[in-house]
């Protein structure tokens, strides 16, 4: 009679936290992700600038669509003629969360919804977004401290392990756990982190590290501004 073998929990935990053999994206996927990501970000920046500095209501929708298309196509220009080339040298590829949020803001500007959400749902949603933004700020500070080797663990390297994606997935499910009705409302920001994880699992974009999929330096600075602005608004009552 054979005795049942014990579960090798130690080996399982070691594989779960392993960072020595990361799965990296292919070179083709990285190039496509670079140009696609910056095309969406540049399209949103172009439309935001047009709304701010190109006044006038006549043919406004057509102008905004034209600006978005022009900026998006410019990112796909060959070689050094593309702004994605220079932005990639300076900032690498934008995180998938940044690309998704810019795409959502761009769609809301070009095709605004017919009915506006209620003030109560907006207030509750803002609190949930603020909580996720605060988590993003804290995660960015942990990555910055890890860059200077001021942490006892290698926080960035841990992003190559399967356990890191599980942790990020748990955080991404918070809107569904804390506010299921709002999560089903179709608000694009709720889907930012789940979409980033899906892209990361399938194509390992942008770098094979899960932290690069959900956060980048530009997004981190924007989250600081959001949290600080909300904190001042709260203190003023």
The larger pLDDT score, comparing residue 177 to residue 93, is at 93
Residue pLDDT, tens place only, 178-204: 655 444 455 677 788 889 999 998 999
- CA separation, residue 34 to residues 39, 86, 176 (Å): 9, 11, 30
Least Cα distance to 92 among 149, 37, 136 occurs for 37
For residue 17, name the pLDDT band (cuts at 50, 70, 90).
low
Nearest-angstrom CA–CA distance, 46 and 231: 29
Residue 12 pLDDT greater than 60, yes or no: no
For the segment 139-162, the average pLDDT, to the nearest whole number, is 91
Residue 111: per-residue pLDDT: 84
- CA separation, residue 186 to residues 104, 109, 126, 175 (Å): 11, 16, 15, 12
Q: What is the pTM of this model?
A: 0.86
Least Cα distance to 100 among 33, 187, 184, 40 occurs for 40
Nearest-angstrom CA–CA distance, 22 and 210: 11
The larger pLDDT score, comparing residue 188 to residue 153, is at 153
DSSP at 153: S
Residue pLDDT, tens place only, 109-123: 898 765 555 444 445
State the maximum Cα–Cα separation within the chain, in Å, rounded to a whole number: 86
- CA separation, residue 225 to residues 46, 108, 126, 229 (Å): 21, 21, 14, 6
Residue 60 pLDDT greater than 90, yes or no: no
Residue 120: per-residue pLDDT: 42
- CA 146, 147, 152 angle in degrees (round to 5)? 25
Q: In this structure, what token pair is assigned to residue 84?
A: 């994605």
Residue 5 pLDDT greater than 90, yes or no: no
Q: In this structure, what token pair is assigned to residue 186?
A: 């179709």
For residue 223, name the pLDDT band (cuts at 50, 70, 90).
very high
Residue 107 pLDDT greater than 80, yes or no: yes
For the segment 158-167, the average pLDDT, to the nearest whole number, is 86
For the segment 17-44, the average pLDDT, to the nearest whole number, is 89
């Amino acid at each position: 009679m054979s005795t049942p073998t014990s579960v090798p929990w130690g080996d399982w935990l070691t594989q779960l936290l392993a960072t020595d053999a990361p799965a990296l994206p292919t070179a083709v996927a990285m190039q496509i992700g670079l140009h696609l990501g910056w095309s969406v970000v540049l399209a949103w920046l172009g439309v935001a600038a047009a709304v701010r500095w190109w006044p006038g209501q006549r043919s406004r929708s057509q102008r905004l669509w034209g600006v978005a298309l022009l900026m998006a196509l410019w990112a796909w220009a060959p070689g050094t003629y593309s702004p994605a080339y220079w932005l990639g040298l300076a900032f690498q590829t934008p995180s998938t969360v940044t690309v998704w949020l810019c795409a959502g803001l761009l769609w809301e500007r070009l095709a605004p919804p017919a009915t506006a959400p209620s003030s109560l749902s907006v207030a509750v949603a803002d609190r949930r977004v603020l909580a996720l933004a605060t988590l993003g700020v804290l995660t960015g500070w942990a990555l910055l401290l890890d860059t200077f080797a001021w942490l006892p663990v290698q926080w960035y390297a841990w992003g190559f392990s399967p356990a890191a994606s599980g942790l990020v997935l748990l955080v991404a499910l918070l809107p569904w756990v804390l506010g299921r009705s709002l999560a089903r409302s179709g608000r694009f920001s709720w889907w930012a982190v789940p979409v980033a994880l899906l892209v990361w699992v399938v194509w390992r974009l942008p770098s094979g590290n899960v932290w690069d999929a959900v956060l980048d330096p530009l997004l981190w600075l924007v989250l600081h501004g959001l949290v600080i602005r909300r904190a001042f608004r709260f203190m003023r009552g």
